[in-house]
Amino acid sequence: MSVSVWVLGEALMDCVAQADGSMRPLIGGSPFNLACAVALQGVDVGYLSPFSNDVFGQALAQRLAETGAKAMGKTSRKPTSLAVVNLHNGQPSYGFYREGIADRDYNAEDIVSQLKKHPPGVLHTGSLMAMPPEHRKVMHVIQFAKAMGWTISIDVNLRTRVAEDLPAYLQAVNDMAAWADWLKASDEDMQLLGWRDVHWDNTDALAAQWHALGCQRVALTFGATGAALHIGSLPMATRDEAQSSGSVQAKAAAPIVNVVDTVGAGDTFWGSCLADWVL
């Protein structure tokens, strides 16, 4: 029997810079993208964060409904968050407007109360939800959810340019990751966290560091190079050891394609992992 995936995190409009200097608004937000990706694969998804009652919030709510996911949060009178996206060779860089916005307009106790009414499933968060002081509310939800038997999914997805206090932000990310059962991190994430030897030929050792924190399933993404998946913490020397321990390790190079952009690529990748694991 499949389980549900519940998502707590930002829903925003990506204002993508165009060649003529104009901005093109596109629906986005890492956790929101993931919620849509999981729902489109037939999983029962609940989205916990509020939507604004402005025109952008209505567009986000409509898109969520089209995927089959359920909006579980209240409607907020605060505006939708905005991200300004600049693309260089298909790779995005971001600037965010995150003060006084709808997806932060919630009470942690209300979220916990909602979770108590449902059988334990997967609770996904991360990304901008790890940004102080927002992380305090999110950590409260995570800790109660874990105590109730929920599986915690975290996408590290660092956005250091938004941080007013970078050391505090990085510490909050590490604190949140320590509660994760399932975790995704990119090579850039690990480099920003100060990890050494972050390269494609060292994924076993990198995954082992996440496993040491308690993460059971770890996905490491390396952009155009590919991705590695590690389930279980055994340092595997042979295929027989992996099979006997229940541990799994997989590594795949990315196919060569004509890239338009990579906005939301990691969200879709991790959403597909979650969908596969819960169905």
Rounded to the nearest angstrom, the gap between the alpha carbon of residue 47 and the centroid of all alpha carbons in its chain is 13
> What six digits make up the tokens of 10?
């930002």
Contact 141, 108 (CB under 8 A): yes
Topology of domain 29-75+106-278 in CATH is UDP-N-acetylmuramoyl-L-alanine:D-glutamate ligase (3.40.1190)
Domain ranges of the chain: 29-75+106-278
pLDDT in tens, the chain (279 residues): 467 999 999 999 999 888 888 899 999 999 999 999 999 999 999 999 999 999 999 999 999 999 999 999 999 999 999 988 887 776 778 888 999 999 999 999 999 999 999 999 999 999 999 999 999 999 999 999 999 999 999 999 999 988 999 999 999 999 999 999 999 999 999 999 999 999 999 999 999 999 999 999 999 999 999 999 999 864 433 344 444 455 788 999 988 888 777 888 999 999 999 999 998
- Cα–Cα distance between 196 and 31 in angstroms, integer? 28
Alpha helical stretches, state H, 99-186: 108-116, 134-147, 166-177
Q: How far is CA 200 from CA 129, 220, 222, 251, in A?
A: 28, 9, 7, 10
| Predicted model pTM | 0.92
